[in-house]
Amino acid sequence: MTTYFNYPPPELQEELKRIANAIVAPGKGILAADESTATIGKRFADISTENTEDNRRKYRQLLFTTDDAVSNNISGVILFHETLYQKADDGTPFVELLKKKNIIPGIKVDKGVVPLFGSEGEGTTQGLDDLDKRCAQYKKDGCDFAKWRCVLKIGKNTPSYQAILENANVLARYASICQANGLVPIVEPEVLPDGDHDLDRAQKVTETVLAAVYKALNDHHVYLEGTLLKPNMVTAGQSCATKFSPEDVAKATVTALQRTVPAAVPGVTFLSGGQTEEEATVHLNAINAFPGKKPWALTFSFGRALQASVLRAWKGKDETVKAGQNELLKRAKANGEAYFGKYVAGSCVGAAAETELFVANHSY
């Protein structure tokens, strides 16, 4: 076994590190606006809005033309391929709109989850084949980071060794290709909340998955200072009979990260995983308020938990754009407060703050 290898050249290291640190700057996190055409269609159906390209453009325009104050709490936006090339009504490309606000554009690069043959309904994520070419193009077109989601399920016999290993290696290969093209890879190994497992089981599975991911990243010589982790918070299964407090969730989550995530990683940007907007903010707050060693920034990369109230207030109408934008400002500010462990539960009242956002076996 050879131990000779190279990290990226110093100037690339500096660029990747600068981008990663800017994304997790104090009080800031990520707006995940990378829903696929099918997924945004489901969100639109809830507000009786037709899923057309122009409606998708109008909705993303609402998000990206929100008052500049949004950049106090949003450092980066994950885009879907279509959105990256769309423009505002006045012809300004969305990428330019974001950069003018000092918000970093990012791009979802995976091509979705496919079944893992021989497993108990597990999957792996596809999209590596032409990833190098796509990353080079996305960097040229204004993106500075990327996201790739892998999914693991908790069951009696899952996640299997096969699924843990395969997904860890896919994430490492993705991360390596991103860095070669100057993109900071957000590594997302999501342990789904589906099931009736308790908090202890969720913590142990999360630890096992993250340990495998960081072993794979090390094997592939990924430069950790130029990466971010997007994990699930450690919560009990959606149908678990026992209810756990935010403090319980915080302890399980921070302990799992302490045991598996190297201090070289600049930050952890949690996914919301079907929690309500309020639950996600309260849990993020508890995680940051939890005492103990936390060498990484602990922030958010929320999709549904930043947009549920926005959609509900907007309703697909031109005259309610401002109402939608106000919801985004409110919830982004609440999550910015949670970054510091200063959010007061219930202080951010949104149009859909308590609305159930869980989707079984969720795919983007």
In tens, the pLDDT along 288-317 reads 999 999 999 999 999 999 999 999 999 999
Q: Which one is predicted more confidently, 357 or 299?
A: 299
| Residue in 17, 108, 153, 230 annotated catalytic | 230
In tens, the pLDDT along 126-148 reads 999 999 999 999 999 999 999 99
What's the confidence (pLDDT) of residue 263?
A: 98
Identify whether 53 is a catalytic site residue: no
In tens, the pLDDT along 156-205 reads 999 999 999 999 999 999 999 999 999 999 999 999 999 999 999 999 99
What's the confidence (pLDDT) of residue 271?
A: 98
Identify whether 108 is a catalytic site residue: no
What's the confidence (pLDDT) of residue 352?
A: 75
Q: Assign 364 a pLDDT band (cuts: 50, 70, 90).
A: low
In tens, the pLDDT along 223-237 reads 999 999 999 999 999
Dihedral (Cα; 287, 288, 289, 290), 10-degree rounding:
50
Q: Assign 359 a pLDDT band (cuts: 50, 70, 90).
A: low
What's the confidence (pLDDT) of residue 363?
A: 61
| Residue in 122, 166, 188, 207 annotated catalytic | 188
pTM of the entire predicted model: 0.96
